[in-house]
Structure 1
Amino acid sequence: MVSTNFTERLKQTPKSPGVYRMYNKSGKIIYIGKASNLQNRLRSYFNKSKTQTPKIKTLIKVLKNFDFTVTESEQEALILECNLIKEYQPRFNSRLKDDKSYPFIKIDTSEEFPQVYITRNISFNNPNDKYFGPYASASSIRKTLALLKKLFPYRSCTKPITGKDERACLDYHIGRCVGPCIGESSKEQYNEIINQVIMFLEGDTSKIVKSLKAKMMFSADNLEFEKASHLRDQIRAIEKVHEGQKVLKINSSNFDAIALSQSQDEAWVEVFFIRQGKLIGRDNYLMSIGEDDDESSIQTAFIKQFYKVTPYVPPLILTQHEITEEEEDILISFLSTKRHGKVNIHTPKRGERRKLVKMVEENASKGMDQLKISRFVESDNSETALKEIQEALNLPQKPYRIECYDISNIQGTNAVGSMIVFENASPKTSDYRRFKIKSVEGIDDYSMMQEMLSRRFKKIVYSAKSSPDNQNSWIKKPDLVLIDGGKGHLGAALQVFLNLGITDISIASIAKSEEEVFVPKTPEPIILPRNSQGLFLLQRARDEAHRFAITYHRTRRSKSATSSSLDMIPGIGPKKKRHLIRKFGSVKVIKESSVTEIASTPGMTLKLANLLKEYL
C-alpha cells in the first residue's frame, strides 16, 4: 500500500524530464534513475503488477523518501543520471552531506614527483598548488580519483621517490603507475603525466587526446603495436568520459548558480556547481528569514554566509535576483578577497545561462513544495488547517472541498482559466478543469473570471433543479470557492453568484503580494498568521491553480504559434489544410498559385478555392 505521504507528493511531482533519487530510512540514496516524465515514472513504482521485477520489489520495501532534479530535456536527464551514477554508485549510495567543507583534489606541482590527493583545506600561500572542485561528497571525489588512476599512471604512494627502490608496487605491474620509485620514469616523463591529469580535470581533453594520438601513431610506425593499442584504449576512455559530462550548453567556465524559493518564514536555497561547463553537483539549504526580508535580501545573506565557510569561491556566481547597489560593491570585494582574484556576480536575462538559472529556480521551488507537503502530511495538520480556515473566514462548516480559480493570459491573448480542487486538504486532480475564454477580448481579467465562473456554476444550478441526486464530480458543490486575486476579483465573482442566485456557497479571494484574504461584507483583509496551517493550505491551492492555468496557457500559446492563416478561413479544416500544405509547401506559395491549381487539391472545390484566394 502506498503511504499517504507518497501519494500526495506524487501528485505534486512535475510531469517533466529529470533525474530522481530514492532514499532508505537512514537517508541514503538507494537508486538513481531518469525519466521523460518524472511523475509517471515514480508512480509506476507503486503500481503493483505481476511483471514487477524482484529488484523493484526489494527497492520499494526499503524506500522511505524520494526527491528529483528537473532538467530541460530527456537527453540532459540521461547525461545527468550517468554523472550521478558514476559519482554515487547507485545501489545504496550516499546523499550529499551537511558538512559544507567540500573536498577538493589537490596537486602540488612544486614536488619532483607530484601526488594527487584529497583535501578540504585550501591555502593560497603556495602558487604551485592546484585545486579542483569542490566535489559534492567525499565518495564522489574518490570515484574521480579512481577514474584518474585508470586513465593516467601516476603514483598513489606517499613515500619519498629516489628511483633506487629494489621492487615496485602492484600498481606498476598492472600498468597503473610508471614506476618512478625504481627509476623506470624520469621526472620529465612523470610530470608529463601529471600535466595530462591537470588538463583532464580542467576539462581540456583535446590537448591530451592530440598528444596521445601523436604517440600512438609514433608507436605504430615503430611496430610497437601493444603500446599503440594501449594508447588507443586510453584515448577512447578519455573521450567517453568527457562526452558523458556535457550536460550544459554553456562555454567552458567555472561558476555556481543560485536560486531560492520562499515560503512563510523560511527559504529553500538551491546551488548548482558548474566546473568547466559541466554540472558536477548540487546542494540545498534551508534559511530562516526575517519578517521584512525580500528574496533579494535572503539571497544576499545566503551568499555571504555560504562563501564565508566554503574554502572555494568561483570566479562567477549566477543569481536569480539582482543584488542591490549598496550591497554589491561590498559583497564583490569580500568574495574577491576570499578568492584572491576577481569575482563577478551576474543575474542573466537571456541565453543558456538564464535557462540554467531557471532550472535551478524550478528545483528550488519543487524542493520547497515537497518539503511543505511532507511536513504537512506527516504532522497530519489537515484538520487543523481546515478548522483555522473555517474560523478565520467565519464559514458555516469546515471547507472539505475547496475550488480555486485563476486566469492566465498575455495582453489578453490565448486567455484561459483553471479550476483546481482540494478535498480533505489534498489535491483531487481528477476534478481539475480547464477553460478556454471565449467571449472576452482584450485585457479584462474580471470579465474572464466571470465567464469561467458562470460556465462552471451554471452546471451546479441547473443540475440541482433537474437531477439533484447526480454525483458527477463536475456538479459537486464546493464548501469554499477561492479566487486568485484581490478585492476586485472577489467583486467580479460575487456578481456571478448574484446573477445565478447562489447564496449557499462561501467565497473568498487571496492576494499574492501580502497574502491577504478577502471575504464578502468585510472591507478589511483577513491576515492569517504566517505559520498558520490554514494559510499554508490556501497558498497551496492558490499556487496550484496558478500552475495549472500557466501550463494550459503555454500549451495554447504554443499551438497558436504553429497555426497559420489557413485556420481562419471558413470551410478549411485540418484535413484540407494538410492537403494544401502537402501540395504547395507553404501559405506563400498557395497565395501565388491560381484558383484552378488550388481547386485541383483533394477536398477543394472551385468555390472554396476562390474564397481562399480572397482571404489570402
Structure 2
Amino acid sequence: MFDIHEELKKLPDKPGVYIMKDAGGMVIYVGKAVVLKNRVRQYFHQSANHPPKVQAMVSKISEFEYIVTDSEVEALMLECNLIKKYRPKYNILLKDDKNYPYIKVTMNEEYPRILKTRRVERDGAKYFGPYSSNLAVNDTIDTLNKLFPVKTCGKRLPKDIGKARPCLNYYMKQCLAPCQGEVNKEEYHEMMKKICSFLGGQYEEILNDLKTQMADASEQLEFEKAAQLRNKISSIAQLSEKQKVLSADGQDRDIIGFSGDASDLCIQIFFVRNGRVIGREHYIFEGEGNEDTGYSLSTFIKQFYNKVQHIPSEIVIQQEIEDGETISQWLSGKRGNKVKLRVPVRGELVRLVKMVSQNADISLKLYKDRLKREDNPHKEGINQLKKVLELENAPRRIEAYDISNTGSSEIVASMVVFIDGKPARQEYRKFKIKSIEQQNDYASMQETLYRRFLRAKKEKDENTQNPKFSELPDLILVDGGTAHVNAAQQVADEFEYGMLIAGMAKDSRHRTKSLIHRGEEYELSSNMPLLRLITEIQDETHRVAVEYNRRLRAKRYTHSELDDINGIGEARKKALLKHFKSLAAVKKADIHKLQEVEGINEKVAAQIYNFFRKA
C-alpha cells in the first residue's frame, strides 16, 4: 500500500522530475522541480491555495514516482519527453504535433536548388522559415522560380552533366541548364546568393535591378521582355505585402503573447525573420484561463520548442516565467548557440508584444463565438438517442465500427469514439483483419469486437498502466443492418457485456437513414437532432476506415516482398496481386497456380515459388 505521507518524507533535496498517478496507475501529471522535496510537498499542504484544476488533480493522486537528475536543465528535458510520452490529463497539452515547413536552399551543392522541407539539418544548406502553411511556402517558391532561372530537377551534378538533353524549362528560359555544363559555377552561386537575400527579405536591390532592366528593355523597344520584367516586379511586390515589416533591426525572433478569460487561454506566436512576419499560429487551452499565466506560458514554450526544427536566437515573451533561465539554457543547447528569452519593458518590442497579445485576444473571441454558435450541437441528439433506444441514462461514450476492404484485400476496421456527443480522436483505433482472407463483413466485425473486448479484459486482468481499451462503451453502433447487429451482439454476449448494440443503416444513396435496434428500425428523417448525430458518427467511422484502407493499399503498391524478386516489375506485381487478391495467397501458391497469371512464365513462377520458400 502506497503511503503518500511516508513517501513525502523520503523525497531528496535534489532536482528531478515527479510523476503523479491515479488509483488505476495512470499517469495524470508530470512536473519538474529544482528541489523535489519542496515542490512535491507543496501539493499536499492543507493551507496551499491551489487553483481549481490543481485541487482536482491532487484529489486523484494515489501515488507518485520521481527521477533524480544532475541539473534543472536535465530535469526540464526529461519532463518534456515524459509529457510527450504519457500525455497526462492535467498537463497543458498542445493539440497538434505538426512540423512547420521551411524553404531549403542547398548551398552545400555545386548547383544549388530550392526545396520545401520539414527538417532542419546541419548540412551546409541555408534554411528559411518556419512558414505557417504549405501554401505560403509554395507561393514563395513559385515566385522564386519566376524570378530566377534556377535548377529544379533532381539531377546529380556534375555527375550527370551531358547525359541527357535539357528539359522544357531551359527552352522556356526558366532554367540555365547546368546539366549541359555551360553554366559558370561561380555565376550560378552568385544567383543563389541573391535568392538567399530575397528569402531574407532584402527585396530592394533585386527590385531596383529589375526596374533598371525594364527601363532598358523599353528603350530598346523590347516590349515583350519589358512586360516579363514588369510581371516579376509585381510578384515581388505581392510577396512583400504578405510579409509585413515588424522591426527595423532585421533580427530573427519569435514573439509570444497571450489573452485569457475566466475559462480559456489563447497563446499566439508570430514568426519574425529578418524583421518580417513570415507566419503566425495560435493555440487555445480550454480550462486554463484562470490558471497562472506564467506557468501556462512556460509549459507552452517547453512543449512548442521541443518539437520545432528551428529555434531563433531571441524569443520575446509577454511576461516573466519562473524557469526562464533554465529554459534559455535548454534552448541554447538545442540550437547550438545562445538563445535569449526576453521580456521587453520599453521601446519597439513592447509595442510588438502588445500587438501579438491583441491578436491572441481576437483569436480567443473568435473561438468563443464559434462555441456559442455550436452550443454543443449534439446535446439534444444524445437525449433523443437515449429516448429512442430506451436507455436509463444518456450514453456518454459511444463506439462506432465500420469495415472497409478492396475486393478481398486490405480488409480493415475502424473504431471511432464519441464522448458526450463529440469525437474523441485520441481514442480512435484501427484494426487490420487477420482471421479471414475473403470479404466477409460479419466475420470482420466479429473479429474486430473480439479483439477490442479481449484487450479490455487483458488490460483489466493485468492492471495495465496507460490502458487503451479498458474503458467500455455505453453504446456500440455498427455500420449496417440487423445481421451486422446480431453478429456484433454474439461477441458482446460471449464476454458477458450488457451494452446495447445498434446498427446505422443507409438508404440507396448511401445517406444515413435509420437506426436498427432490438430487431426494429427507427427512421431518422423526422428526428433532425438524432439524424445529425448519427450522420456525423457514421461518416466519421467510414472516413477513418477508408483512409486506413487507402494507406495500406498505397503501402502495398509502393513496396512489397515481391519487389525483391528478380524479374518482378510493377506490371507483374500488380498482375499477381490482382489475380490472388493478397500477398499471402501469392506466397501459398504453387508453380502451376502462379503460371495462371498473365505474364508469369514457368521460369518466373519458379523464382517466386523458391523465393518464398528459401531457408
TM-score with structure 1 setting the length: 0.41
